[in-house]
Chains A and B, each alone.
Chain A
Amino acid sequence: MALLSKKDANLIKDPLADNNPITIQVLGICSALAITAELKASVVMAVSVLFVLGMGNVAISLLRNIIPSKIRIIVQLIVVATLVIIVDQVLKAFAYELSKTLSVFVGLIITNCIIMGRFEAFALGNGPWRSFLDGIGNALGYGIILVIVGFFRELLGSGTLFGFPVLGNPIDKTGLYAFGYENNGFMIIPPAALIVVGIIIWVQRSRNKALIEDN
């Protein structure tokens, strides 16, 4: 027996590829450009959004029948803000260095369009279990792009992965560096993330022609 019905499974599967929040809906670009210079930061950001969006979607879904529609945005903001502060405080307590790298971007999860978008588009009209799956699915779709971008940017920009030197030591000239290889400083700066995201979009749409919008 499948754990999830087909309809429920699609809630998680769709945002991973064919309805990805970043590459298809082009939401949440800001943080995708800003914090993906290191893989570690990408993963932490992805997990933070996973927590906020999963919990937030459930909370909004439970409250959906008692929220007056006129003030629903404010209620949504309160829910997000609460969750984001929890994430921020946890990071500051247990991973202080990392929270400094992420700086304002943890706080700015509040403004991440994906979160408010899912609250508005899904959680306000669906039950808690389906909302939870939708939140997890979208956060994973967001996270997977972050990790892919972070992987290439850290590997090509710093020659490391999760901080471990995988291409050799650039100062002692070991590994690849012995052959004259050098880190690509362009990958460290945010415009490179834009280009990497663009290439992902390009590859995705050339594999699945149905995604190409005709204008």
Chain B
Amino acid sequence: MSDKRLTFKKRLHILKHHYRDKKMAPAFNAIHTFLFSPDDTTHSGAHVRGADDLKRTMNMVIMALIPVLLFSMFNAGYQYYAAIDVANNVSREFSLWESFLTWDNFWIGIIKVLPLVVVSYGVGLLVEFIFAIIKGHEVEEGYLVTGMLVPLIVPIDTPLWMLAVAVVFGVVIGKEVFGGTGMNILNPALTIRAFLFFAYPTWMSGDKVWVYQAVERTGTPDAISGETVLGALAQNHLAELNYSISDMFFGFIPGSVGETSTFLILLGGLFLIYTKIASWRIMVSAVIGSLVMGYIFNMVVDLGVISEASNFYGLMSFEYWKHLLVGGLAFGIVYMATDPVTGSQTNKGKWIYGFFIGFMSVMIRVFNPAYPEGVFLAILLMNVFAPTIDHYVVKANINKRLKRFKNATILPKDSDSRAEELKAETI
């Protein structure tokens, strides 16, 4: 039988067996399992194989992210041309087919957003492969989702080398030092975002980085602005806010690459809830948390505690429910907070965990003087607290049952059969 007739799958198969005990084995295995179903059979006993393995779970999340990615590619171009029109005092009418879903817009997306995706996946998977080969374990699927999340949560003009450095840092320090996929305390995508924020603040905040070329054009006659809604609010530029609520909801506003469209994120979230990939408890409680905090700030403004001259007036007076429409709050709640590895595991814990994410996101957003956004910081903070929350939830449950058990055995002394019954129930 000649080699030419072998299918690609067969060849990979042979390669895999050839390298079985070699150091490079994980690399071939990873490519093989990624493209095809593994042909390995179990060696002992009978097994039931679930179809929803890690690979499928990850693919579901990526499917939920694809619309957001496509939208962001169009939005990259739309914001660019819109900013130029504003700078030239050209008024423009918005129309979905004529000014948004155009090839010109999509082209900007291809030259700006796609490289971010490629660098994120390329560097991240390289680090994963190197670690798998050194440590001699299989390459895990963990980076598939992280690699898609990262380009969506950075500003569009992020230099690619910075992204590469941050990805190496995030994957190594955020994940591999803890033992790889499933062992990490912090969400790797947010670790990457936080690293970028603290390492290169000029590229991560301000009013320029959110629109293509706004940084390069600074100081030239062609200068354009890329101020985000939150940025304008933080500086009390209330008059400059000319985005309608539907603009904010559908995402025709500047911001990090994929965070703007609350509508598509909502659809993605519903898809994830329907497929039972993400926890609806975390999403709902995070939304409640952010509404509560936003409402408290609105009350503070209504009571007249702070004046219009205050630094916080712009953000505090922002209607509480609008916080969900701007910035990364919706994206963070749906795709980041619900990460099953770093979030709370218990149902009660999920409510507490989610609530504080929403609550603190809005709080940090309002009070952070350097940067009017706090979703990534809030989620990272609650990632750290998630095991503690779970610990106390489990402990409370044990105490509750113990109490019930004691009462059950002491009280109905007259009839021993009833006591046995209660005992059986509680254990």
Contact = CB atoms under 8 A, between A and B. Distances in A.
Contact of A185 (B159, B173, B199): B199
A180 B161 contact: yes
Given A182-B200, A186-B195, A189-B198, A198 B177 contact: yes
10 contacts: A181-B161, A182-B200, A182-B202, A182-B203, A184-B165, A184-B199, A184-B200, A186-B195, A186-B199, A195-B173
Interface string A186-197: 110100000100
Interface residues of B, number: 13
Contacts of B201: 185
A187 B203 CA distance: 16
Contacts of B162: 182
Pairs A-B, 7 closest by C-beta atoms: A186-B199, A186-B198, A184-B199, A185-B199, A185-B201, A182-B200, A180-B159
Interface string A39-61: 00000000000000000000000
Given A182-B162, A187-B199, 4 more contacts: A180-B161, A182-B200, A185-B199, A198-B177
Contacts of A202: 177
Contacts of B161: 180-181
Interface string A110-130: 000000000000000000000
Contacts, number: 22
Nearest to A184: B199
Interface string B153-169: 00000010110010000
A181 B164 CA distance: 13
Nearest to B197: A186
A38 B162 CA distance: 23
A195 B173 CA distance: 8
A181 B173 CA distance: 22
Interface string B196-220: 0011111100000000000000000
A58 B170 CA distance: 46
Contacts of B195: 186
A96 B312 CA distance: 40
Contacts of B200: 182, 184-185
Interface in A166-215: 180-182, 184-187, 189, 195, 198, 202
B198 A185 contact: yes
B22 to A, nearest CB: 21
B202 to A, nearest CB: 8
A189 B194 CA distance: 13
Nearest to A181: B161
B196 to A, nearest CB: 9
Nearest to A191: B198
A12 B161 CA distance: 43
Nearest to A180: B159
Contacts of B165: 184
A169 B170 CA distance: 28
Nearest to A157: B199
A198 B178 CA distance: 12
Contacts of B173: 195
A186 B201 CA distance: 9
A202 B173 CA distance: 11
Nearest to A156: B199
A181 B198 CA distance: 16
A186 B199 CA distance: 4
